[in-house]
Amino acid sequence: MSIFRRLLGGLAEPDHGGAGTPDAEHGATDAAVPGGSRAAMPGGASAPDTAAVRRIVSQLEAMPPDRARYLAAASYVLARVANSDLVISPEETAFMERTLVEESGVGEAEAVLVVEAAKQQARLFGSTEDYLVTREFKQISDADQRLRLLRACFLAAAADDSISSAESSTLDQIASELDIEASALGALRSEFGDRMSVVQAMRAVRAASPLDPGPTGG
């Protein structure tokens, strides 16, 4: 089973808050007009695509516009987590690329372009776009998809076997922005507890002292 389908609950069919909303028609128009994109939201309202999402969508022109927008927003949020400590590791990059290939059906070369676009947007515009893109994903997804994205974020942060303090803080922020219940966030933090850098550091200290006498003089 592909990673995104398992974690996001069906990327190809994101929830749009009502079966009667003509999202596909809006999406087709939006994809053709960068800068003027709008998509339907629950309740009949509409929200403009963020600049970051539009730039990433440009790498997914072969996809249906609504699916491309969903994937672009999810990819950015993953890159946001990876970049929160200002270092996107090769393992984190590989995780995102592999996820795109397995779920979306794009080729490896296209996945590389999408991930690089997401990483670039997160690096250049994170201070202004992070909240906006996460909010956009919230608007075009349902509660289960949002929880699954958060778990994917934990996996991305842990791809290099350690979740830094900065990444941990960003995960909390994303959970808040996605309206994830505290109990659900707590369960994820417990699941990935052994990957937290703070926990790893404490264990290292305990392993070295006081039980470990260290080298003895002679």
Residue in the block written with tokens 């590989």: 94
pLDDT in tens, 107-157: 888 889 999 999 999 999 988 999 999 999 999 999 999 999 999 999 999
| pLDDT band at 209; cut points 50, 70, 90 | low
* Backbone φ, ψ for residue 65 (5° rounding): -55, -40
Residue pair 150/174 in contact by the 8 Å Cβ criterion = yes
Look up residue 59 and give its DSSP letter: G
Tell me the mean pLDDT in the region 196-216.
57
Residue 189: how many CA atoms within 13 Å on its side-chain side?
Answer: 19
C-alpha span between 102 and 30 (Å, rounded)? 26
Whole-number pLDDT of residue 109: 87
C-alpha span between 53 and 37 (Å, rounded)? 10
Helix (H) / strand (E) element for 184: namely helix 182-191
C-alpha span between 89 and 91 (Å, rounded)? 5
Domain range annotation of the chain:
3-208
Whole-number pLDDT of residue 33: 29
pLDDT in tens, 25-61: 333 333 332 333 444 444 444 456 788 899 898 888 8
- And the tokens for 76? 């950015």
pLDDT in tens, 48-101: 678 889 989 888 887 888 988 998 999 999 999 999 989 899 999 999 999 888
